[in-house]
Amino acid sequence: MKRALATLLVAGAALFATACGRPFDVKTAPGFVPLENQSSYEYRATTPEGVVVAVRVVEDEKRGDLDFWTQALTLQLRDVSGYALLDTVDVASRDGTKGKLLKFGHDESDKPFAYWVTIYPAQGRLFLVEAGGAKEAFSRAQPSVEWMLASVRVRCDTVVSPVLASRTCNRW
């Protein structure tokens, strides 16, 4: 009996450890459609008007904390890419992970665009939750964008998470 139980536990652990899944959870708001095969994003959804919410995961290996990444992204987007930083807001993901929401504006061909990026360092990774689009369309979609941003979880909260699901959250 003990041997059968041990075999079952090992098989279950192997299943959890090798199952595919993303290391975060995000809900898609009504009016958005998830997109498939987005090369540099693990998740991306859009409206018919082109407002996009996306999640990118960067292996960080705990090299930088939230303040480091907030400053690095601000400098890159403002000084190198020409975005105007409009606001910075302390936020927390649905699982309680502390983050920072940076709100930027940018003009392209005399047309204003909104770009938001939320930064969450967790699980030895950097989670970037991005939202953007033409300012007028973004303003109309903003309640849905905010709902999606509030739905994000970047840490597993299962009993076996630290051991079996540290690289993915297979129960999402």
Residue 71's CATH number: 3.40.1000.10
Domain count, the chain: 1
DSSP sequence for 67-79: HHHHHHHHHIIII
Distance from C-alpha of 110 to C-alpha of 116, rounded to nearest angstrom: 19
At 171 the pLDDT is 43
The gap from C-alpha 171 to its chain's centroid, in whole angstroms, comes to: 17
What pLDDT digit, counting tens, does each position of 10-69 carry? Answer: 333 333 333 346 778 889 999 999 998 888 898 999 999 999 999 998 887 677 889 999
Q: What token pair was written down for 130?
A: 């991005």
- Asked whether residue 49 is assigned to any structural domain, the reply reads yes
Is residue 18 assigned to a domain? Answer: no
Write down how long the chain is. 172
Look at residue 6 and tell me whether its pLDDT is greater than 70.
Answer: no
Closest CA to 77 of 135, 132, 125: 132
Tell me the residue range of the domain where 105 lies.
24-153
In this predicted structure, the answer to whether residue 3 has a pLDDT above a threshold of 50 is no
In a domain, 76, yes or no: yes
pLDDT of residue 82: 92
Task: Find out whether 84 and 102 touch, Cβ atoms under 8 Å.
Answer: no
Q: What is the pTM of this model?
A: 0.79
In a domain, 61, yes or no: yes
In tens, the pLDDT along 73-115 reads 999 999 999 999 999 999 999 999 999 999 999 998 889 999 9
User: Is 167 a member of any domain?
Assistant: no
For residue 161, what pLDDT band results from cuts at 50, 70 and 90? very low
The answer to whether residue 51 sits within a structural domain is yes
In a domain, 9, yes or no: no
Is 78 within the bounds of a domain? yes
Report the largest interatomic distance among the alpha carbons of the chain, rounded to a whole angstrom: 73
